[in-house]
Structure 1
């Protein structure tokens, strides 16, 4: 069989052009962050590639291939699949309520044979796509102030309530804040934003008292006074702060972090890996990593700005908002400035599900970049 029988010359040329349109500097930044994650996982495992570092590196390699493949997908295809992906995500969350696996007191997983996953990861992409499509073609006046805002509010509330009921407060907050960011970026009136913020602040105290599970309420109380239970609920954050402070300016050195090496630091491979990094590389290491995160966020936002379609702009901005929230929430949590909610540091922490979600999102961002001149219409259209 000849090469032309497999791929037409014009298609090969177009694929090559698309590959050159990918922001390879952005991909390099992601590789540096994931590489730092592999090195830290190697260190905290006692200079061993198992059980975390090798798996982390191999998963990232697979995810890079997925990102490049998704970047080739026409933006109009993403537009067409937006509502189905959101609907699938909601149905999977309902399935979790009915037949989900219960682990560590939470019902968050679905199992298909030996394979298990968290449907909440699907809805993180689904909510971005669905809201971006909803606001595509909407007039500025309608996006700013209208009874029609009930529709996006309902679209956000349904998955948030389902995820919060699992319970998974951290992911529920992430979905709510991502959805809110897209609505704001679409042109929501500042009067409504101020009213919504005031309403949320008013609801927080009664929700903490009456709506939270006991362990969630304890996390909030521990955040306010971690030293009230130093060997119990306050242990995580106190050990994290010790690791952060002991690193100083330059850190203790690679593989020499006592808090992580001697297993004082809990969840050192996931939620608190940033604290382990701070202990070994100090302020300079943390600042360097945050610069990489900042560069990734800046380049993704620039892609959003370059898109000629409103759908592309909002989709890329929504994915960037989710990524930014991951970094902010984990960083604040590790520093004791936010309650411990189980949100990992993206691509630095060990965990294949979150990495896959982030990289699928960045595949969408690169699709927006590659197809930034595409005009997305509200109709079915055709795909080139």
Structure 2
């Protein structure tokens, strides 16, 4: 399909056809999106990849889609170091500096900061999302302006438990998670749901978000003798260590993880021990070249002189947020409602949009997108391969 026809089907014409000029785009007051990301600290790898996704998404909106009704979409980035106090300070700094009629969306870095800021975000009516998929945030009655751009951690665990049930009904399960809001978030649900499904949780291991020796963790797992081990709350800071130690110790359990474990670096770092590691993931991989968004962004980055080699999953997720938020802004602007309230209204109405395949669709249910796929690591292929189609979790 020719690129012009592709963009026409997407609902995008040339800048001239849209009635916008480069001069008008440059002169109008910007619309701003702030991203508070862990550019330093234990999850800096994810934060910097996420920043790159936001940069590409915002540049694409401005240069290809004509901005937001002729106004430039401007990205503000602040480092949080994955620290709630530092992140809160960054949030307050941005809010005090920017005009409410220009700053129409904020993206946070973690479950911890999101839960800490959620009451204030709701009070001021600020459209918000985050790297977090915490279940508590997907509550439009309590937090009417917060959106989770994917399934919650509870949803992800539900998908993994369904797979476990298919493989072995009355399975023995161990839970290994970090002592963070991120790590703890889905644990109560997993325990309750596993019991309802006739499974037994035989061990819990709570660890720091990063450590250098997984031997004690694996020795405890060996004593518990689980069939499956669910990992949560690490973002590659510990999973490869655990997998390698498990292989060395002869632990035969199958390991599983959620969205932030679904990255090729896990296979590269864990080596043969990564074989069969099963994850939930709801964006395409950079190697999914049949997805229009992947092909389009490869070409866009090439035109910009940017590296077109593999982009991590954290990049893909941030890109999906940037394009989804921009689409809601564009529709709100077309309706004469380009305000914070208007962005919230149109985020709730963009279920027909899928950002060129970056997500299954933006059909929010209780302000989260309850769809995922399961992927399994193949060391031979050096990638995660899908083992299911889309799973609906609500």
TM-score, normalised relative to structure 2: 0.24
Which structure's residues are more often strand, by fraction?
Answer: 2
